[in-house]
Chain A
Amino acid sequence: MPLIKKLCSAIFFYFLFILIAQAAEGHGWNESELALLKLQWLGSLPALPADPTNKFADEPAAAKLGHKLFFDSRFSANGKVACATCHVPEKHFTDGLAKSIGVGEASRSAPSIPGIAYSPWFFWDGHSDSLWSQALGPLESAVEHGGDRSQYARIIYTDQSYKKTYESLFGELPDLSNVKRFPATAGPVADRTSNERWQAMSETDRKAITRVFVNIGKAIAAYERLLMPAPSRFDQYVEALLNGDSAGDNILTNDEVAGLKLFVGKAMCITCHQGPLFTNNGFHNVGVPDPATIKPKYLPPIFHVLKDKPAVDEGRYRGIRQALKSEFNCLNEYSDAKEDDCAELKFANTKHTTTLGAFKVPSLRNVAETAPYMHSGQFSSLREVLQHYNTAPKAHIGHNELLPLNLQQRELEQIEAFLHSLSSPAGVKENLLRQP
């Protein structure tokens, strides 16, 4: 047999072997890839860790109260905005907007909530280090709920149902009958009148109101801790693979499987979107364009006419500074945690080289259902997101950590197809998704 024939036949049998081996492993997953798939599988999600900052975190009565508060639009300046206004259960707790609309327009997009309780940081820039302190932020934001803590404490005080539940959980409410001591609206907020009233109150009275406000947050957090994603087609596929069940081969299409292979391989998505919730809960600068790309303070005086333009969003750089000085952080008096429980805050990196322009890695569960994307909805479709990752443009602030992927158009389509397999209904009882 001539040498060339021998060679051809050897190559033929080599590829035949590869094909047989791939068929045997189901869609061609090798051992290390299977380990990665298992890592991403919802079945690998550990039990929700305790929240040492909130001693009511796993109290069913607190969750029940939090459920009511989450849907109650009285907790706003105009009586029309509840948490559920921007975190709409039917939209996987998002609102489908680039920038959320409360009593005004927010600067960022409302993220999805299911599974968020696993994160050590909240908000796109991580300016809260607990779920309960996160819940308090929008309540006093001038553009979200627009109200203040005195107004909210008074709702609890005057609504007999809330008052009863509150007192059975947290103890006696302060006596708010004296409106001179406890004005109807007062808080450390942007509204001048409210702020002045707040400053005029005694420290003891301010603390009494703040304690009620904090407990509102802790109850909302107890409810949010119940919101978890349900298994998606991706999870069913991985479960079948792990069980050696060939029936699982038809759960994902060939394109979805090819996209999954790229996701855990060449496209390196798994580097940050790692774990059963498809996030490492870290902060990274991925060079997302900012609507305000001009920073007036760095410009010569001739350009000062532009100074009304909003500043570039510095992301985690600003977020961690806010968290460190927050009255509601893990180390402060309203937190139930011991100092040792606050390692994330204590050791957080504040350096501009690591934090400037960095934003939180979002979960990708239900990502196909929760457009638009990025912290301010910069991209309206998954296709745009994937194009961005493929080219990795220069960051407008800080530096882009991404490397260009240079994938083919077809490969990007496959990743997009795979991302659709992460959709699933909410993994909680239907009644938790409705106003109680």
Chain B
Amino acid sequence: MKIIHKINHYLAGLFLLLCVSFASTAHAADSSPVSATAESVHFRVSYKSKIAPLPQNLIHSWVLHIETRDGKPVEKAEIAVYGGMPAHKHGLPTEPQVSEIGHGDYLVEGIKFSMNGSWQLWFNIRVDGVTEQVKFDIDL
């Protein structure tokens, strides 16, 4: 009985280890979201990459959608993009450019993530003299 009890303990340990390794693999697989949403005081901002999954080392575009917190598209916003890898204290390898598509959609061209790791992308959104900022965390 004692032996069976002991084996049960080890099997439980093994099961736990397998769970841990499975969980870390699953995390790695969905660490690069193709779209995400962030909010500032007045705006709800979401992006969608034109290339999925989020590519590494390839210049690509995002469509940024900006709406008010109650769901109205925000037009004629002046948008500045900056970002980088805080851990390495360096910025983006590119200077993305933003142009308005309409109905709250903006095309962000020239995004590139040149290496794996944690990136941050900030959007400064200026509407009617008020500037707000949203941040997206990208893990590649």
**CA separation between A282 and B91, bound complex, in Å?**
12
Q: Report the tally of A-B residue pairs with Cβ distances under 8 A.
A: 78
Cβ A401 vs Cβ B95 within 8 A: no
**CA separation between A102 and B21, bound complex, in Å?**
55
Residue in B closest to A271 when the chains form the complex, CB atoms: B115
Secondary structure call for the B interface: mixed
**CA separation between A254 and B16, bound complex, in Å?**
30
Cβ B110 vs Cβ A343 within 8 A: yes
Q: Name, among A1, A272, A282, A285, the residue most crowded by chain B CB atoms within 10 Å (CB to CB).
A: A282
Q: 0/1 per residue, A349-365, Cβ < 8 Å to B? A: 11101100000000000
Contact of A284 among B57, B90, B97 (CB under 8 A): B90
B53 at the interface (CB under 8 A from A): no
| CB of A33, distance to nearest CB on chain B (Å) | 11
**CA separation between A285 and B88, bound complex, in Å?**
10
Cβ A354 vs Cβ B24 within 8 A: no
Cβ B10 vs Cβ A30 within 8 A: no
Given contacts A280-B57, A401-B90, contact A10 B110 (CB under 8 A): no
Cβ A401 vs Cβ B89 within 8 A: yes
| CB of B30, distance to nearest CB on chain A (Å) | 13
Q: 0/1 per residue, B91-114, Cβ < 8 Å to A? A: 111111100000000000110101
Cβ B109 vs Cβ A347 within 8 A: yes
Residue in A closest to B90 when the chains form the complex, CB atoms: A401
Interface residues of A in 282-319 (CB under 8 A from B): 282-285
Cβ A349 vs Cβ B95 within 8 A: yes
| CB of B109, distance to nearest CB on chain A (Å) | 7
Given contacts A13-B10, A348-B95, A349-B91, contact A275 B57 (CB under 8 A): yes
Residue in A closest to B13 when the chains form the complex, CB atoms: A14
B28 at the interface (CB under 8 A from A): yes
Residue in B closest to A283 when the chains form the complex, CB atoms: B93
**CA separation between A343 and B55, bound complex, in Å?**
15
Cβ B94 vs Cβ A348 within 8 A: yes
**CA separation between A416 and B13, bound complex, in Å?**
37
Given contacts A271-B115, A275-B57, A282-B114, contact A347 B96 (CB under 8 A): yes
**CA separation between A282 and B112, bound complex, in Å?**
11
Residue in B closest to A32 when the chains form the complex, CB atoms: B28
Given contacts A399-B89, A401-B88, contact A346 B110 (CB under 8 A): yes
**CA separation between A132 and B130, bound complex, in Å?**
48
| CB of B115, distance to nearest CB on chain A (Å) | 5
Contact of B59 among A14, A282, A343, A350 (CB under 8 A): A343
A17 at the interface (CB under 8 A from B): yes
Set of chain B residues within 8 Å of A343, measured between Cβ atoms:
59, 109-110
**CA separation between A32 and B10, bound complex, in Å?**
25
A128 at the interface (CB under 8 A from B): no
Cβ B94 vs Cβ A281 within 8 A: no
**CA separation between A399 and B88, bound complex, in Å?**
10
Cβ B25 vs Cβ A32 within 8 A: yes
**CA separation between A270 and B56, bound complex, in Å?**
14
**CA separation between A9 and B92, bound complex, in Å?**
52
A274 at the interface (CB under 8 A from B): yes
Question: What are 21 pairs between A and B in contact, CB < 8 Å?
Answer: A13-B13, A17-B10, A17-B13, A30-B21, A31-B21, A271-B88, A271-B116, A271-B117, A272-B115, A275-B57, A281-B114, A284-B88, A347-B59, A347-B95, A349-B92, A349-B94, A353-B90, A354-B84, A354-B92, A399-B89, A401-B89
Seed contacts A271-B88, A282-B114, A349-B94; 16 additional CB < 8 Å A-B pairs: A30-B21, A31-B25, A32-B28, A271-B115, A281-B57, A282-B93, A283-B93, A284-B88, A348-B93, A349-B92, A349-B95, A353-B90, A354-B92, A399-B89, A401-B89, A401-B90
Top 8 A-B pairs ranked by shortest CB distance? A347-B110, A282-B114, A354-B91, A347-B94, A343-B59, A401-B88, A280-B115, A280-B114
